[in-house]
Amino acid sequence: MGKTSITRRTFVRAMGGAFGAVAAAGLPVSVLAARPRPTATRNPLFIPPTVSAAGYALGAAPATLSVQGQPRSVLAYNGYLPGPTFRASRGGSADVTLMNGLAQETTVHWHGMVVPPAADGHPRDAVAPGGTYSYQFAVNQRAALNWYHPHTHMLTGEQVALGLAGAFIVNDDEEAALALPSGAYEVPLVVRDANIDSSGALTYTAKSSGFLGKIPLVNGTQDAGLAVDTALYRFRVLCGSNARLFRLALSNGAPFAIIGNDGGLLAATAWESEIEIAPGERLDLLVDFRTLAVGTKVMLRDLNAGWDLLELTVARQVTDTTAVPASLSTIVPLGPPVTTREFSFDGMSRINGSVYDINRIDFEVPFGQTELWRFRTGGNAPHPVHVHGASFQVQRRTGGRGTIFSWERGWKDTVLLQDGETVEVLVRFDGFRGLYVMHCHKLEHEDMGMMANFVVV
Ligand code: C2O
Ligand code: CU
């Protein structure tokens, strides 16, 4: 299967509009010098190459990117930060061989993908330095933006913060029928924060309250800019930070048309001018530049930190008659639950009072049974709660913000728990039997033990 040769140049597909050539040339152009500049010159948004998941060799290794002629030391998948964007169609399959070029053990978890336990990247399936591991699974789920990252015992936060993460896009017929913006008009945006030292290296310091970087990166690019046409764009947003929450907004006050989230399309398009997302969560957004004059600049901002994330400059007049669909998909509600389980996220390292033990099975879930899972916290939030092995439907949030937001409808695999909140979800494991984990996706909490093993039986 040619699993030993790196094939990162195959299936390269430019998706970056005016800056697509950067991706096509395979240049790992990325982050820039670390000084905060209020009126920063913008740097072309890096678009990782798109590759097929059907047979791919994925190397995780230290890499030195060239950033405006300066070296930038990171950990990267095949030399890219973020890693290559996998694309697969429902009904297809994935066959990815990890080659661990790190000095530490690692795994690859396919966040949002329903895969057999052996392909889920559980910390028990750690790959030693120099080792390889074959991840093979059928792609049999809704179209969605999923992603991949290490899930290494007590080292996930470090490996992700230093650069290991990438997108995994699933397409299906239902999505194709909507004729959504594609090609250069479909842009992945991996939003995260980072720290960069004076030598140009990404750095990581574990902090029990969560790693908060001093600068934002979008697709690894600091002070990112993208030239856009007078067209409708589809932005596939992943919150890829370790701990930071982003409150996204456009500087011109225009609303986002939200068409999807973690688990794919919503039932109907929702319009919001501010959206808050937490580590692990995804958004599928349409943004309309058709009424804007050439030369107009619109900033994608993070209102929490007051950061300018991505400057969108209207650069070219085109005619685009793509419609924003009002109705998107049918979400079949999960039936009434057979069982209720309670999960208390305690302190910064415990679920239901217990610190994660890699060898302990915390509970068993019958295959195919609809259950209500109730998440609550004793403090130290935010806790973005993530479940492997199935998506869920958010039913109710009480306390705290006290509501379910439009971007939390449909199917989710990660839901934000703030202090004082109780969130109820319905979940049914009808993919595979075997060992999975659920955990806080603030990666420092995960690494300290806010995680549980469960077995679908
Ligand atoms: Cu994104 Cu268990 O992880
Ligand atoms: Cu937490």
Q: What is the pLDDT of residues 125-140, one digit of tens each?
A: 999 999 999 999 999 9
What is the pLDDT at residue 273?
98
Which ligand is nearest the CA of 417, by number?
2
If you take atom 1 of ligand 1, which residue's CA is the nearest one? 111
Which ligand is nearest the CA of 157, by number?
1
- The ligand 1 atom at the shortest distance from the C-alpha of residue 121 is 2
DSSP 334: P
Closest C-alpha among 192, 164, 166 to residue 60: 164
What is the pLDDT at residue 382?
97
d(CA 415, CA 377): 13
More confident call, 67 vs 375? 375
d(CA 189, CA 225): 12
* Ligand 1 pocket, residue 280 CB under 6 Å: yes
In the predicted structure, residue 104 carries a pLDDT above the cut 60? yes
In the predicted structure, residue 19 carries a pLDDT above the cut 90? no
In the predicted structure, residue 3 carries a pLDDT above the cut 80? no
In the predicted structure, residue 15 carries a pLDDT above the cut 60? no
Over residues 297-306, mean pLDDT: 98
Q: Which residue's structure tokens are 């030598």? A: 199
- The ligand 1 atom at the shortest distance from the C-alpha of residue 437 is 2
d(CA 48, CA 30): 10
Residue pair 181/322 in contact by the 8 Å Cβ criterion: yes
d(CA 166, CA 123): 19
The one-letter amino acid at 368 = G
Task: State the distance from the centre of ligand 2 to the C-alpha of 408, rounded, in angstroms.
Answer: 19
Task: State the distance from the centre of ligand 2 to the C-alpha of 168, rounded, in angstroms.
Answer: 24
- Name every residue whose Cβ is closer than 8 Å to that of residue 359 and which is 6 or more positions away in sequence: none
pLDDT band, residue 14 (cuts 50/70/90): very low
Task: State the distance from the centre of ligand 1 to the C-alpha of 3, rounded, in angstroms.
Answer: 25
Which of 295-299, 378-382, 449-453 is the least confident region? Answer: 378-382
Over residues 309-318, mean pLDDT: 98
More confident call, 12 vs 60? 60
Task: State the distance from the centre of ligand 2 to the C-alpha of 440, rounded, in angstroms.
Answer: 5
Query: In this structure, what is the dihedral angle of CA atoms 371, 372, 378, 380, given to the nearest 10 degrees?
Result: 80
- pLDDT tens per residue across span 69-91: 789 999 999 999 999 999 999 99
* Ligand 1 pocket, residue 112 CB under 6 Å: no
C-alpha distances in Å from residue 118, one per residue of 2, 99, 135, 433: 21, 16, 8, 11
Residue pair 146/168 in contact by the 8 Å Cβ criterion: yes
Q: What distance separates the 2 farthest-apart alpha carbons in the chain?
A: 60
What is the pLDDT at residue 16?
29
* Ligand 1 pocket, residue 445 CB under 6 Å: no
What is the pLDDT at residue 70?
87
pLDDT band, residue 38 (cuts 50/70/90): low
pLDDT band, residue 378 (cuts 50/70/90): confident
In the predicted structure, residue 262 carries a pLDDT above the cut 50? yes
Which of 24-28, 50-54, 389-393 is the least confident region? Answer: 24-28
d(CA 119, CA 136): 6
* Ligand 1 pocket, residue 111 CB under 6 Å: yes
Closest C-alpha among 180, 144, 185, 143 to residue 324: 180
Closest C-alpha among 70, 44, 59, 83 to residue 4: 59
d(CA 411, CA 266): 8
What is the pLDDT at residue 159?
98
In the predicted structure, residue 28 carries a pLDDT above the cut 90? no
d(CA 434, CA 438): 13
Task: State the distance from the centre of ligand 1 to the C-alpha of 6, rounded, in angstroms.
Answer: 25
Bridge partners of residue 310, in order along the sequence: 224, 300
What is the pLDDT at residue 198?
94
Task: State the distance from the centre of ligand 2 to the C-alpha of 447, rounded, in angstroms.
Answer: 10
* Ligand 1 pocket, residue 442 CB under 6 Å: no
More confident call, 269 vs 29? 269
- The ligand 1 atom at the shortest distance from the C-alpha of residue 109 is 3
- Residues 76, 78, 83, 88: is their CA dihedral positive or negative? negative
d(CA 44, CA 27): 12
Tokens of 132: 């390889």
Q: Cis before residue 382, ω within 30 degrees of 0?
A: yes
- The ligand 1 atom at the shortest distance from the C-alpha of residue 438 is 2
Closest C-alpha among 82, 45, 49 to residue 300: 45
Task: State the distance from the centre of ligand 1 to the C-alpha of 455, rounded, in angstroms.
Answer: 16
Residue pair 219/163 in contact by the 8 Å Cβ criterion: no
Closest C-alpha among 386, 369, 426, 455 to residue 110: 386
Q: What is the average pLDDT value for the chain, to the nearest integer?
A: 92
Closest C-alpha among 7, 102, 111, 94 to residue 60: 102
Give the predicted TM-score (pTM) of the model: 0.91
Radius of gyration of the chain (CA): 20
Tokens of 421: 């909140």
What is the pLDDT at residue 323?
93
What is the pLDDT at residue 291?
97
Identify residues whose C-beta is under 5 A from ligand 2, the ion: 383, 440, 442, 445
What is the pLDDT at residue 4?
31
